[in-house]
A and B are shown apart, each in its own frame.
Chain A
Amino acid sequence: MTAATTTIKTLAGNPHCRRLAWLAIVLLLLAAPFLIETTLGRSWVRIADVALLFIMLALGLNIVVGFAGLLDLGYIAFFAVGAYSYALLASPQLGVHWPFLVLLPLGAAVAALFGILLGGPTLRLRGDYLAIVTLGFGEIIRVFLNNLNRPVNITNGPQGITLIDPLQIGGFSLAQTHTFAGLTFSPVHSYYFVFLACAVVSIIISLRLENSRIGRAWVAIRDDELAASAMGINTRNVKLLAFAMGATFGGVAGGLFASFQGFVSPESFHLIDSIMVLCMVVLGGMGNVAGVVLGAVLLTALPEALRYVGPLQQSWFGEVIIDPADLRMLLFGLALVLMMLLRPSGIWPSRRRHVAGPPAKETEAPSAAR
């Protein structure tokens, strides 16, 4: 065991080996959809696409929760805002069909605006209070999406918006199957590469942010807001920026999601989806970009793997005792609890010191009389 780790450490220290390893990773990522299709089948390529979207979402939430320490339980609302702004402006719903390259930045901007809208009134709140307000915000957005079909039909209510335009860059539509250098690119493959590019950009932005002036300001606020502001950080602007940045990631992912699915409805944006993204961040390792990516991939793939549990139960017990979807949620809840009890800083923790702030009770002033 120790021999193996020392070997890995020496190898990792060697620049040639590092370069080779990176090359291998890049090649693996590029070949992944074809490898997955031949080994696991096409449905898993789709799952890989979704995993890439969730990487973007989780990285966005990581900015808010992991870096700035602001617990956001309504994060999926930004995803919804991005998805609906794309859906409305590129579908027969309003009869508008704007090009993708306009809509993606627009969705990001609208989501950022909502981020500031949420951040503004909640700036003074911390920890659990913020959590509840953001949760409420997420629910409000969903209630509006559900009900804005009367008196003027904007969102088409619970039925959602269908026939959303697929991604189209120039004359190249991702909805068609293309053949390229002997490889067949069906839509799931093409989307994989677009999402991969976006996810990689998100990862690079996150990594660059982490060690930037802003990133360090976020971490300072997370660890001690008072001290941070004493050090000259404009806490208001920096916190608003965290909300806006996080929301932007969500907005972009939402736009991509809408074009990928061709259909959006309020059903995709429940509280449980917010919690799912939060779990990715928490289980992976709050504040650590690599950990968050790992969390997103694991939590997208594992529930899908649980689908095989249904037939398995059938063959073992003769009937399906636990619905796989419920089993997934049960394991989810259990994982959250056990993770917090046994390994609170995540599978792949951040190297920076404590992540989640000081204990609840001890931060209150001793003179606090109620």
Chain B
Amino acid sequence: MEIFAQQLVNGLVLGSIYALVALGYTMVYGILGLINFAHGDITMIGALVSLTAVQLLAAAGVPAPVVLVLAGGAAMVVCVALGVSIERVAYRPLRHAPRLAPLITAIGISILLQYSAALIWGKQYIAMPEIVEPTRIVIAGAQLTSLQATIFLLACAIMAGLLWFLKASRMGRAMRATEQNPAVAGLMGVNTNKVIAFTFVLGSAIGAIAGLMVVLYYGLGHYFMGFMLGLKAFTAAVLGGIGNVAGAVLGGLLLGVIESLASGYIGDLTGGVLGSNYRDIFAFLVLVLVLVLKPSGLMGQHSGDRA
């Protein structure tokens, strides 16, 4: 039981990070119908920028909370600039192109981001300096560090904030309108280009925070880390029903828990034949199962030609 609680807590913390990245996928997909393949790599850039910022600031003797805020801010600035320029240069000209074109462009951008990062940061794993003294909290027999608790709470706060923003603000309403029908939204006076650019701003900023959280969580950064993270986040978005923001949150948390429990128990269940080294395939299994059994996801109502 203790193991179960521990895996559950681990899964929730990890899942909250997946959920944050999944938001970026789901918002862009909702509006453009495009899988923004490069989103995982935007998160990676956010992670590495914040890592570098932490290294520099911690060496300069700045207190830890300030370091984290500044690092997160730096990552957000870089990621937002990247996200918006990618949208402007690579996706906007292809908005009415055949559907494979933007997808292949996105793959190209993803490769570009990865290897630019490899040029800047090198190909080795980069360690995060330990700036926060880990204090342990015990909840229902499960241990977690204060850092993990903070990640989880902050992620929840961001998600709640986003949901509120989409529901209540003027821009949020414009985003929802564009998502439903860009042409009609345009007729109603919504500047759809601006809305789409703003979607990328929002997604990239949240991705940057998620990147900071990932390096805090694992203590490591790597130029290729965005790939798996992006895939899992995409899976989470599909699980929740792509295009649905609340669904992405649910899907992310659920995927984190599934992955954590499955990799914790697979060794016992299969008598040691399959070990936790198979953990990365659960996300794909979940993805295939969802797409086969309930393609619209848990909270999606829409099932167009993709299903």
Chain B positions within 8 Å of A370 at CB level: 30, 179-180, 243-244, 300-302
Q: Indicate if the CB atoms of B108 and A369 lie closer than 8 Å.
A: no
Chain A positions within 8 Å of B238 at CB level: 129, 132
Known A124-B307, A340-B94, A359-B99: A369·B301 in contact at CB below 8 Å: yes
Whether a CB of chain A sits under 8 angstroms from the CB of B273 is yes
Whether a CB of chain B sits under 8 angstroms from the CB of A273 is no
Q: Indicate if the CB atoms of A363 and B305 lie closer than 8 Å.
A: yes
Our pick among B104, B114, B306 for the contact of A329 (Cβ within 8 Å) is B114
Q: Indicate if the CB atoms of A136 and B287 lie closer than 8 Å.
A: yes
- The interface-forming segment of B46-54, B149-157, B163-171, B275-283 is B275-283
CA separation between A205 and B277, bound complex, in Å?
41
Our pick among A139, A146, A329, A356 for the contact of B101 (Cβ within 8 Å) is A356
Interface size of B by Cβ–Cβ distance < 8 Å?
Answer: 63
Interface size of A by Cβ–Cβ distance < 8 Å?
Answer: 58
Q: How many A-B residue pairs have CB under 8 A?
A: 180
Whether a CB of chain A sits under 8 angstroms from the CB of B240 is no
Whether a CB of chain A sits under 8 angstroms from the CB of B182 is yes
Residues 100-129 of B at the A interface (beta carbon under 8 Å): 100-105, 107-116, 118-119
Known A128-B35, A340-B102, A356-B101: A140·B115 in contact at CB below 8 Å: no
Chain A positions within 8 Å of B200 at CB level: none
Q: Indicate if the CB atoms of B33 and A140 lie closer than 8 Å.
A: no
Interface of chain B, helix or strand or loop or mixed? helix
Chain B positions within 8 Å of A357 at CB level: 98-100
Q: Indicate if the CB atoms of B291 and A122 lie closer than 8 Å.
A: yes
Whether a CB of chain B sits under 8 angstroms from the CB of A102 is no
Whether a CB of chain B sits under 8 angstroms from the CB of A95 is no
Chain B positions within 8 Å of A127 at CB level: 99-100, 103, 305-306
Interface string of B185-206 (1 = CB under 8 A from A): 0000000000000000000000
Return B203 CB to nearest CB of chain A, in Å: 17
Our pick among A135, A146, A332, A368 for the contact of B302 (Cβ within 8 Å) is A368
Highest count of chain B CB atoms <10 Å: which of A330, A335, A337, A355: A337
CA separation between A264 and B172, bound complex, in Å?
52
Highest count of chain B CB atoms <10 Å: which of A272, A322, A333: A333
Q: Indicate if the CB atoms of B119 and A139 lie closer than 8 Å.
A: no
CA separation between A355 and B105, bound complex, in Å?
16
Chain A positions within 8 Å of B107 at CB level: 275, 278, 336
CA separation between A337 and B108, bound complex, in Å?
5
Interface string of A47-67 (1 = CB under 8 A from B): 000000000000000000000
Our pick among A128, A139, A334 for the contact of B112 (Cβ within 8 Å) is A334
Interface string of A318-361 (1 = CB under 8 A from B): 00001000100110111111001100100000000011111111
Q: With contacts A137-B284, A370-B301 known, what are 4 further pairs, Cβ within 8 A?
A: A71-B103, A129-B307, A333-B111, A357-B98
B-binding residues in A (CB < 8 A): 71, 121-122, 124-129, 131-133, 135-137, 139-140, 143, 146-147, 150-151, 225, 271-272, 275, 278, 282, 286, 322, 326, 329-330, 332-337, 340-341, 344, 354-366, 368-370
Nearest first, the 4 A-B pairs at minimum CB distance are: A336-B108, A333-B111, A136-B284, A356-B98
